[in-house]
A and B are shown apart, each in its own frame.
Chain A
Amino acid sequence: MHMKKQLIIMFALVGIFTTNNAMAWGGFAHSAITEIAERNLTPQAREKIHEYLNHSLPFYAIWMDQIRYTDPYRTSGRWHSNWMDENGKLDISHKYCAATHTARLWKEMKDYKRLSKEEVRLNLLYLIHLVADMHCPCHNVWPKKSHPQYRYHLTDNKGRKQSFHKYWDNTAFAYGRRRWTATHYANKMATHTPKEIKKICKGSPYKWAITSLPNAERTFELTPKGSNIQRYSKKDRLEMQRICDEQAVKAGYRLAYVMNQIFAK
């Protein structure tokens, strides 16, 4: 019986991973965000970026994920989330805070001509990923001691633990979008007027992270502790997706804004 159970688990895992599921915030959403950004680059910025990066922005969408466990980039592997303090406020002094690193890199790049080509390239690669990650509704870390209500697992029909983070990274964004491409996503979602985009891009990475917090906190209401991921209502799933879309589209516009500002004439 034990062997049979193990075999079932093994084949289930094989089945899961051989299914072509391209829809993941870690993958697909990053592609979509960078596609939106690419479309909103000024010609000047696009030309300048190409002096440092061979491919277009979406190609590098998950570069930071690919290198996070390699030297000399290991430290950057901890930068992917915003960190909160005991009072639930954004902790901009936290050494791993995504918003803080985004702000730092942006500031460094304002004087990019003084940097070496490799430094500029690296900073661009970081920014491409970090601006997206800092907008992800589940990429916020509250201290476990002071905010235990923000650290938990979800479940499924069989009572097995399911990762809250993975649910919001993958499933919430992908609901009903099995065959979507990043291009299709950008066509459908990034339809704001220049005036609206300007308003979205106001502020700083800190402000963007702070104004994203209500959506982050809403994720805990929509998917409470121990809730069954296979039993959410359609209405709730659409609301989850709305949150993801709001964050992803803002991330795309803001990434373009950062790039355009860096390489402004």
Chain B
Amino acid sequence: MKKIIVLSIAIIATISTANGWNTRLNEGVMILAHKHLTPQAAAVIEQHLGTSFADDMLFIAKAQKNKRSNFSQEVHFLHLDSNLAPITTSENDAYVQITKALDIIANRRNHKKAEVTMALRHLIELMCDIHNLGNVRIESYPLSQREFTMNYSNGKKGKNEVITKLGWGRLWDIYTSRHPGFSAPFWAEDLEVCWGAKKSEFMSGNLNEWVKHIGTKTANILNGVSEGMPLSVKQRNLWEDDHYEMAGRAAYRLAALLNETIK
């Protein structure tokens, strides 16, 4: 019976949720970003997305779930070469689609309203995606090219210890499940409480620099990780700080990108 339970949990642990962060955190990131938009950028956002963003979150993921997307799951991933520079050979890459979206938004007067709306949705979703450390694929890190599992211990001792297989991507995706009941506005508020003092730092730079930062951070973590390694509760708790730092950065960087692009 115990084997069945462990096997079940292993299956659960390796089911990859293509959505990444949950909808409320994504929306919370947008709400926080919106708070720091210039009036011009805010006006464009309101024109295309209105004042409530719930329906616009995770648009690509929803379309994929309904089999209405031309993108593969790889579009949610950031693909980097060994120098941590973006690989731009495929349309199914978050960086490629972000830059396309920015181009449409910058030249929005030459595009239909629906195209600009879709570009904004893609930008919001994919900016969140690339800040999810489980969504970064680095050429020189074979482990990052696929979902691999670690042996996560519940921390209990002796016969009460249970080891489950926890997937790399799932590890990062399910941190939000530790905070059930958080609304999107609350996520925005909490991210600002935590990271507001670093707003200027987080907003400085450009997309390529941020991609490099994300790649560096992921590489540093991956350096200490191997397939099948024991993963302690303590380590998982430590990585949670990284997870929410990236969510905070996603919000401020998204605001900076929109402010820079919408002039």
Q: List A residues at the B interface (Cβ < 8 Å).
A: 6, 9-11, 13-14, 17-18, 20, 22-24, 27-28, 31-32, 35, 50, 54-56, 58-59, 61-62, 66-71, 180-185
B180→A22 contact, CB < 8 A: yes
B181→A185 contact, CB < 8 A: yes
CB of B70 within 8 A of chain A?
no
Q: Determine chain A's interface SS by DSSP, over half rule.
A: helix
CA distance A9 to B12 in the complex (A): 14
Offer 30 A-B interface pairs, CB within 8 angstroms, sorted by A. A9-B1, A10-B4, A10-B7, A10-B8, A13-B5, A14-B8, A17-B9, A18-B15, A22-B181, A24-B180, A27-B180, A27-B181, A31-B182, A55-B193, A55-B194, A55-B244, A56-B189, A56-B193, A58-B182, A58-B190, A59-B179, A59-B190, A66-B237, A69-B156, A70-B233, A70-B237, A181-B24, A181-B181, A183-B183, A184-B183
B190→A56 contact, CB < 8 A: yes
Q: Determine chain B's interface SS by DSSP, over half rule.
A: helix
Residues of A within 8 A of B181 (CB): 22-23, 27-28, 31-32, 35, 180-182, 185
Residues of B within 8 A of A61 (CB): 179
Given A22-B177, A67-B237 in contact, is the A181-B186 Cβ separation under 8 Å? yes
CB of B185 within 8 A of chain A?
yes
CA distance A23 to B181 in the complex (A): 7
A13→B183 contact, CB < 8 A: no
Chain B residue nearest to A55 (CB atoms) is B194
**Proximity bits, B190-219, A CB within 8 Å = 1, else 0:** 100110000000000000000000000000
CB of B234 within 8 A of chain A?
yes
Of B7, B186, B234, most buried by chain A (CB within 10 Å of CB) is B186
A58→B193 contact, CB < 8 A: no
CB of B63 within 8 A of chain A?
no
A66→B183 contact, CB < 8 A: no
Residues of B within 8 A of A62 (CB): 178
Interface residues of B in 140-184 (CB under 8 A from A): 154-157, 177-183
CA distance A205 to B233 in the complex (A): 30
**Proximity bits, B41-79, A CB within 8 Å = 1, else 0:** 000000000000000000000000000000000000000
A66→B179 contact, CB < 8 A: no
Q: List B residues at the A interface (Cβ < 8 Å).
A: 1, 4-5, 7-9, 11-12, 15, 24, 154-157, 177-183, 185-186, 189-190, 193-194, 232-234, 237, 244
Q: A22-B181, A67-B233 given. 19 additional CB < 8 A pairs?
A: A6-B1, A9-B4, A17-B8, A17-B9, A27-B178, A27-B179, A27-B181, A50-B193, A66-B233, A69-B154, A69-B157, A69-B233, A70-B155, A70-B233, A181-B24, A181-B183, A182-B182, A182-B186, A185-B181
A58→B4 contact, CB < 8 A: no
Given A55-B190, A67-B233 in contact, is the A181-B182 Cβ separation under 8 Å? yes
B4's partner among A6, A17, A22, A182 (CB-CB below 8 A) is A6
CA distance A71 to B233 in the complex (A): 10
CA distance A55 to B179 in the complex (A): 12
- Taking the closest CB of chain A, its distance from the CB of B210, in whole angstroms, is 22
- Taking the closest CB of chain A, its distance from the CB of B3, in whole angstroms, is 9
A13→B4 contact, CB < 8 A: yes
A70→B232 contact, CB < 8 A: yes
The list of the 9 closest CB pairs from A to B, nearest first, reads: A69-B155, A22-B180, A182-B181, A181-B183, A13-B8, A31-B181, A27-B180, A28-B181, A183-B183
CA distance A23 to B177 in the complex (A): 11
CA distance A229 to B233 in the complex (A): 32
Chain A residue nearest to B191 (CB atoms) is A55
- Taking the closest CB of chain A, its distance from the CB of B149, in whole angstroms, is 16
